[in-house]
Amino acid sequence: MLDIRFIKENPDLVKEATRKKHLAVDIDKLVALEEKRLRMLSEIETLRARQNRASLEIANMAGNDPIKVKILADMKLLKGGLAEREAELATLMKEWQALMLLVPNIPDVSVPEGNDDSANVEVKKWGEIPQFPFRPKSHVDLMSEKGWANFEKGAKVAGFRGYFLKGEAVRLSFAIWQYALDFFANKDMLPMMVPSLVRRDNLFGTGYLPQGEEDLYKTQDGEFLAGTAEVATMGYYSGDVLAKEHLPVKNICFSPCFRREAGAHSKDVKGLIRVHEFYKLEQVVLCEANHEESVKWHEWLNRNTEEFIESLGIPYRTVANCGGDLGQGQVKKYDVELWVPLENKYREISSASYFHDFQTRRLNIRYKDETDKLRYAHSLNSTAIPTPRILVSLVENFQQADGSVKIPSVLVPYMGKDIIT
């Protein structure tokens, strides 16, 4: 979240952020509530001070002293008034906190205008689009025919978007995980395997709540199944004071992930593009509270994913997300999109974002700077690679005329073969 002092001093800037992100937040109401909150706090402090002075005055008075009797009567009235004001403040604070949680972060000036992902701006394109001398098949048809996936039984067992991976698709998934772990760990990133089951405060802390609850699976005990390892990883550091000399903190984190995919954008997508249950390696970075540092690590994280995709030989493009396609806490975001031949389009495989101190302020993740002052760290994250979605582009781009699939050379040591049939 933003500092309330920043909001008060820059209301027009915050209003512009809500406009650019196409969000509806009443900033004027929040500022008015903040002024009222400060007045009430001042009044309560004044009443408490009067109460303390009265307690000191009567401490050594005799029980039947008429002055003491009068002071005690006044204190009774004062106590009632204090309780009433505290109750009013508690009610106001609920409204204040609810509004504060809705205020968006300020997008970078380089973020394009736009309503949704159709307005994202291409900044890079890599690789040659394959030209097949035969009629290619979709990953759904090819994997079903070869016995690498069963979508009908997946739906029977798990419902819509359920799937079973079998045989070579399972081995290929494990090969991708192991290669990705080696690739990103070689970027001096600490591997972590993190929980999928998380408490509500971790989702508030990372900005997935309060707006995104419809896309989350919730247990009967009040926990949630996270859609990314970012949530648990940020929760791991919540409340910590990090040593400045240990920054940046760089993690590569693995977890099962769960998303309801409740939005209309995913209704017409078949196969492995948008599934409810998947696996993901996520890059998470905590750095010094400096905009230039955040920009540097943002570019680094996104480039890591680009390099990984290039090593697989899959054509891709990178887009800068427009304001309407940014999350509440994101300052700037890139999407890497892979070529899907049978759809004749690029589809998102990765998102890289930076947040400044939006998340760390909520989660109280700090460090001591060179003057020994406590400061909120900056946070960033980027998808390293999700499975099984990566299989869509890999299978479709590398399919052969006989229905076999060529294995990218970097995966051959992990698969033990260069083609699957």
Any catalytic annotation for residue 274? yes
Q: Find the distance separating the first CA and the last CA of the chain, reported in whole Å.
A: 51
User: Do the Cβ atoms of 337 and 305 come closer than 8 Å?
Assistant: no
Radius of gyration in angstroms for the set of CA atoms belonging to the chain, rounded to a whole number: 27
Bridge-based pairing state of the strands 241-242 and 366-368: parallel
Active site residue 259: yes
Query: Among residues 274, 361, 362, 366, which one is catalytic?
Result: 274
Given 361, 362, 366, 389, the catalytic residue: 389
- The angle, 0 to 180 degrees and rounded to 10, between the axes of the packed helices 389-397 and 167-185 is 110
Q: From the centroid of its chain, how far is CA 158?
A: 26
413 is written with which tokens? Answer: 């040591």
Q: List 351's β-bridge partners, or say none.
A: 335
Q: Is 300 helix (H, G, I), strand (E, B) or coil?
A: helix
Q: Hey, is 235 helix, strand or coil? A: helix
**Known catalytic membership, residue 5:** no
Beta pairing, strands 164-165 & 190-193: unpaired
Active-site annotation holder among 196, 255, 351, 393: 351
Query: How would you class 171 by CB atoms within 10 Å of its CB: exposed for 0-12, middle for 13-18, buried for 19 or more?
Result: middle
The active-site residue out of 348, 350, 353, 361 is: 348
Q: Is the peptide bond before 191 cis (omega within 30 degrees of 0)?
A: no
Q: Which of 194, 142, 193, 197 is nearest to 172 (CA)?
A: 142
Cα gap 306→67, rounded to integer Å:
80
Burial of 209 (0-12, 13-18, 19+ CB in 10 A): middle
Ramachandran angles phi, psi of 55, nearest 5°: -60, -40
Q: Is 389 a catalytic residue?
A: yes
Identify the CA nearest to 2 among candidates 107, 114, 156.
107
Residues in the chain: 421
Q: How far apart are CA 50 and CA 56, in angstroms?
A: 10
The DSSP 8-state label assigned to residue 132 in this structure reads -
Catalytic positions are 259, 274, 348, 351, 389
